[in-house]
Amino acid sequence: MTETTITRRSFLAASAGVAAVAATSGFVGFSAWEAEQAHAAGEKKAVHSLCNSCSSKCGFTAYVGEDGRFTEMVGDPDHPYCDGTLCARGYGYASIAWSEDRLTDPLKKNDQGKFEAISWDQALSEIAEKTNAIIASDGPQSLIMIQDPRPSGSFYTKRFMNALGSANVYTHGVSCNMSKNSGMTQAIGAADFTADVANANMIMFLGRSYADGIRPSSLHQLRDAKANGVHIVIVDPRQNASCLYADEWVPIKPGTDLALILAMAHVLIKDGKYDADYIANYTVGFEDWAQRVQEYTPEWAAEITGIPAETIERLANEMWEAAPKACIEQGWRAAFGCAHQNSGETARALCLFNTLLGCWGIEGGAYFPASASAGKLTDPKFAAPAAPAEKIIGQAEYPVSSGGMGVSTFALSTIPEGRVKGVFFYQSNCVAGYSNPAQLSEFVQAAELSVAIDVQMTETCQACQYVLPDTSYLERLEVPEFVGGKIPVVSLRDRVLEKIHPNTKPVDEIFTELANACGVGQYFQFTIDELADAQLQTIGLSLDELREKGTITFPEKALKYGLKTTWNTADKKVHFTSDACVAAGFPASPGWLEPLVMPGEGQFRLVGGKQAIHTHTQTANIEPLMAITKMYGLERIWMNADVAASMGIEDGDEVEVSSDTHTGRTRVKVTQRIEPTSIYLPSHYGCSVPEQRTAYNVGLRQMDFVPFHIEPGYGGTMSQETLVTVKKVGA
Amino acid sequence: MMMDDARLFAALAQCFGPVDQSEWERTTSDDEWQALIARLRMLLQQPDAFGAVEAPLLRAHRAVPLQEFLSSREVDALFAPPSFAEKQSFAARHFTGGLPESALPIESLYVEWTNDPKRSPFARQKGLYSADTALYMRDLIADLGLELPESLAAYPDHLSLELDMVSVLLEAGRTDDARQLFLERSAWLTAYRLKLVALGEEALFYLALIDVLLGVRAQLEADEGCELESA
């Protein structure tokens, strides 16, 4: 065979020719190569990035060797969420970059319902053709986008949809903290606040567990609080992991936190134990609430919550004695982020109870983090498309829901009637986690166009017609992330690794190319590097500078404690009453609203919740993390030990769990760490996607047991409004 | 028509990698393919045939039926290579990542990422791209003055590149190196074979090729054993 022949046939282009291969002494066997590597002491490059294992996006530095791998990740001490520490998820999740389950090519579902790889050209042109056809026939508002907010994702998804003329950009909020944020907004005009845990005299947590849904800095605060002698009370149906730091675990029946708050308010108002000056000067509607809570005695609440009346009274008085360095912690998802029919109203009542304490803005009370942000971009090439005049679909139907998050489940439910015809997902496993998976999958499959962008196959990707392969978070630069805190910062997700799969694309390129294909590319005439640098230039920084440092603090903008006296409401006051709530069908000030379903004989409420090593379904396919699950049997449901004994169920038994929508089998952990009317099912398991080889078929999925329904007014997914029965398999 | 082993391994490399239509049609033209099968038959029988010029006596082995090494269905599949469209269709469903029926012929996915815990927190984990085998192949290709093709640059331990490297070494007259490389870089094919078996009928052509390669490997190992004994 001639050299020409072999070059023609060979994948390996012999730049120096076969003769050179013959002459070189370059061949080294694998063992010898391995031995060389073991002794190689190459330079390591430091690259700053942001974790992607949960929504906190902690800053870290990766040390990358000459072989392109990194051997070390170190949490950034200046990042407000990280505080110098990464959690187990942060380390384990990094393996996704190299995972066998990565999507490597654009995919299209064929006539048999199976995915096939197609070229980017084909994917982009077909998606654009369908998108434009939908716009031509039904207008841009018949297109929706659902995304789990990340720095670049938030920027590019909104810009893309607005360029098409659609206002319909949704986050994962319905299944996270939407009801909490929306309820708080009705009371204080802000979607969130921060309990000053470490400096308080007393803190009460309602369901939230810093040691389970970890943000490292929060956990450090809890550790410091314990060291400082803060009185820490954790109210939760389950003795969660944070109870290690607590003085008291108060078991409560799920969905009844509102009754506890109302009764504690009753106690304080009845005895005149509230900050009367603050209420007189900076609030409206107090009399309405004071009148309303008269009926909510501790005895009344004891029946509903399962907490003894004397405990309720004691806790209320202890909070008052600790005030103003005391508050009910703000919560996130757990008890009232999206869980029950009364979640929004629970959040509203929580803010009003804290108002009684006069804690707003006080050191040790409840503060509002200092913030920083980029300025407006003036270069015409960054000009944004006009904001659509229409409101997001679902805003009219759920009038007190957060428009910034949007009721994505409602928008999806309008697909069968033809109101929504095209749906895009970016890094959102909506189908598995936002409500009943079977129902959501049916909605998505009914769309004329469905596109998912992700790094691995998910239940949502499975339901779509097209799947576009994203790079992993370690392989891309994103727009700078501004993070609030006691000292606000800007931080950067930079490229730690070279792109592993050549046919994957980062989010900025995907949406730029989609926009070009759809004919709206004029809004995307810049690179991510140019955009990031331009944003930073508005505050006197540069991309190079942020790349060098990873996180830059703004000490001049640091939080200053002080009583908060003006609010972001129409009249700048705290609202004990809300006209918007009245218009949405709620009382002017929050009163008792029962959960949608109440357990009868032999029934339990199914509660979910995070474990420290997982983030919902996102990390279940990560082998190092799933190994921990399996080592400790973490996929098991929890059942109260007394109840289990009465049912003849023992620790480790195989049990069958049934609701109106689903039946499944798993093992049980029998424990006194859960109150008797609840079953706890960790919300990470039950993956139904065989492509996720590690996660597939491990444990049960909480949302399978939950019917498709939406919290009136606030739009939450009511993730814990379901009843289950449990029986021992084979009994 | 005779086919030497350099050409044989280059052709086998094409079976698992991205090639254009004209290239594939040349490779699978009747004469070429018959010559390829004839040479494979030889390698499956002769411990010392790897890289050797076909001697007259060896030609006698051409008549030995392939059924002695492969199942009859595999033999049928081997004699009927897929058309370019069929090859493309198979690749679109199985030579892409992240699907339940993905069967990418990349060694990294079947071996430990690295066995040196100092070099990675994911040492000893399997099922990850860019394992030590990929870094090794990348370095070897560079050391020999070769260039990775763009289409496979991310996967230096793709079976096509490993087979192609054997071909290059044979072509360069470095038979011992080719033999060592083939022995080292074909151990994972036993695990890969199971992926193809799971795909059933439609993967029979590729399964047949893998079984042939494993057969050649067995002969080489037997040869190594003989050399050790005689030493």
Residues A517-527 pLDDT 10s: 999 999 999 99
Cα–Cα distance measured from residue A95 to residue A694, given in angstroms and rounded to the nearest whole number? 13
pLDDT at A6: 41
Q: Are residues A10 and A152 in the same domain?
A: no
Report which of residues B204 and A12 the model is more confident about. B204
Could you tell me if A253 and A308 are in contact, meaning their C-beta atoms sit under 8 angstroms apart?
no
C-alpha A154, offset from chain centre = 13
Smallest CA-to-CA distance from A330 within A370, A371, A367, A282 is with A367
Mean pLDDT score of chain B, rounded to an integer? 89
- Condensed to tens digits (0 to 9), the pLDDT of residues B169-178 reads 999 999 999 9
Nearest Cα of chain B lies from the Cα of A149 at a distance, in angstroms, of 24
User: Which residues from chain B sit within 8 angstroms of residue A624, using beta carbons?
Assistant: 122, 125
Neighbours of A268 (CB within 10 A): 21
Cα–Cα distance measured from residue A240 to residue A167, given in angstroms and rounded to the nearest whole number? 40
Q: Are residues A219 and A362 in the same domain?
A: yes
Beta strands in A42-98 (DSSP E): 45-50, 59-64, 70-75
Q: Are residues A334 and A234 in the same domain?
A: yes
> Residue A426: which pLDDT band, with cuts at 50, 70 and 90?
very high
Q: Are residues A446 and A490 in the same domain?
A: no
Smallest CA-to-CA distance from B13 within A18, A2, A11, A4 is with A11
Q: Are residues A343 and A194 in the same domain?
A: yes
Query: What number is the average pLDDT over the span A472-499?
Result: 96
Mean pLDDT score of chain A, rounded to an integer? 95
Chain B residue with CA closest to A23: the answer is B172
- Condensed to tens digits (0 to 9), the pLDDT of residues B73-86 reads 999 999 999 999 99
Instruction: Count Cα atoms within 13 angstroms, Cβ side, for A180.
Output: 22
Q: Are residues A394 and A509 in the same domain?
A: yes
Q: Is A11 on the interface with B (CB under 8 A)?
A: yes
Instruction: Indicate whether A4 pLDDT > 50.
Output: no
CATH classification of the domain holding A290: 3.40.228.10
pLDDT at A474: 97
Task: Select from A15, A91, A623 the Cβ nearest to the Cβ of B146.
Answer: A15
pLDDT at B115: 86
Task: Select from B10, B129, B185 the Cβ nearest to the Cβ of A9.
Answer: B10
Nearest Cα of chain A lies from the Cα of B46 at a distance, in angstroms, of 22
Q: Are residues A152 and A212 in the same domain?
A: no
pLDDT at B231: 47
pLDDT at A14: 53
pLDDT at B2: 63
> Residue A621: which pLDDT band, with cuts at 50, 70 and 90?
very high
Is the residue at A378 inside a domain?
no
> Residue A3: which pLDDT band, with cuts at 50, 70 and 90?
very low
Nearest Cα of chain B lies from the Cα of A69 at a distance, in angstroms, of 7
> Residue B64: which pLDDT band, with cuts at 50, 70 and 90?
low
Beta strands in A169-237 (DSSP E): 169-170, 194-195, 202-206, 231-235
Q: Are residues A430 and A285 in the same domain?
A: no
Which amino acid, A202? M
Is the residue at A683 inside a domain?
yes
* Domain, as residue range, for A110: 102-171+386-470+505-519
Signed CA dihedral, A406, A412, A418, A420: sign only: positive
Q: Is A119 on the interface with B (CB under 8 A)?
A: no
Nearest Cα of chain A lies from the Cα of B17 at a distance, in angstroms, of 9
Query: What number is the average pLDDT over the span B188-196?
Result: 97
Q: Are residues A637 and A538 in the same domain?
A: no
- Condensed to tens digits (0 to 9), the pLDDT of residues A71-90 reads 889 999 999 999 999 999 99
> Residue B194: which pLDDT band, with cuts at 50, 70 and 90?
very high
pLDDT at B116: 80
> Residue B120: which pLDDT band, with cuts at 50, 70 and 90?
confident
Q: Are residues A332 and A457 in the same domain?
A: no
Task: Tell me if B127 and A623 make a contact (CB, 8 A cut-off).
Answer: yes
Could you tell me if A235 and A250 are in contact, meaning their C-beta atoms sit under 8 angstroms apart?
yes
Cα–Cα distance measured from residue B182 to residue B217, given in angstroms and rounded to the nearest whole number? 8
- Ramachandran category for residue A57: left, alpha or beta (phi over 0 → left; psi -120 to 50 → alpha): left
Task: Tell me if A27 and B169 make a contact (CB, 8 A cut-off).
Answer: yes
Phi, psi of A428 (to 5 degrees): -135, 115
Q: Count up the domains in chain A and report the number.
A: 5
Query: What number is the average pLDDT over the span A316-322?
Result: 98
Instruction: Indicate whether A133 pLDDT > 50.
Output: yes
pLDDT at A21: 78
Q: Are residues A194 and A306 in the same domain?
A: yes
- Condensed to tens digits (0 to 9), the pLDDT of residues A324-375 reads 999 999 999 999 999 999 999 999 999 999 999 999 999 999 999 999 999 9
Q: Is A40 on the interface with B (CB under 8 A)?
A: no
Query: What number is the average pLDDT over the span A466-477?
Result: 97
Q: Is A117 on the interface with B (CB under 8 A)?
A: yes
Is the residue at A127 inside a domain?
yes
The CB-based long-range contact list for A534-541 (8 Å cut-off, 24+ gap) reads A534/A377, A534/A379, A534/A382, A535/A374, A535/A377, A535/A479, A535/A480, A536/A374, A536/A480, A536/A490, A538/A374, A538/A375, A538/A376, A538/A377, A539/A372, A539/A374, A539/A375, A539/A490, A541/A490
Say which range, A497-501, A672-676, B62-66, has the weakest mean pLDDT. Answer: B62-66
Cα–Cα distance measured from residue A18 to residue A13, given in angstroms and rounded to the nearest whole number? 10
Residue A684 to residues A497, A541, A608, A723: CA-CA distances in angstroms? Answer: 28, 40, 9, 19
- Condensed to tens digits (0 to 9), the pLDDT of residues B128-153 reads 999 999 999 999 999 999 999 888 98
- H-helix or E-strand spanning residue A366: strand A366-367
> Residue A1: which pLDDT band, with cuts at 50, 70 and 90?
very low
Q: Are residues A445 and A488 in the same domain?
A: no
Instruction: Indicate whether A5 pLDDT > 50.
Output: no
Cα–Cα distance measured from residue A530 to residue A380, given in angstroms and rounded to the nearest whole number? 13
> Residue A253: which pLDDT band, with cuts at 50, 70 and 90?
very high
Chain B residue with CA closest to A625: the answer is B122
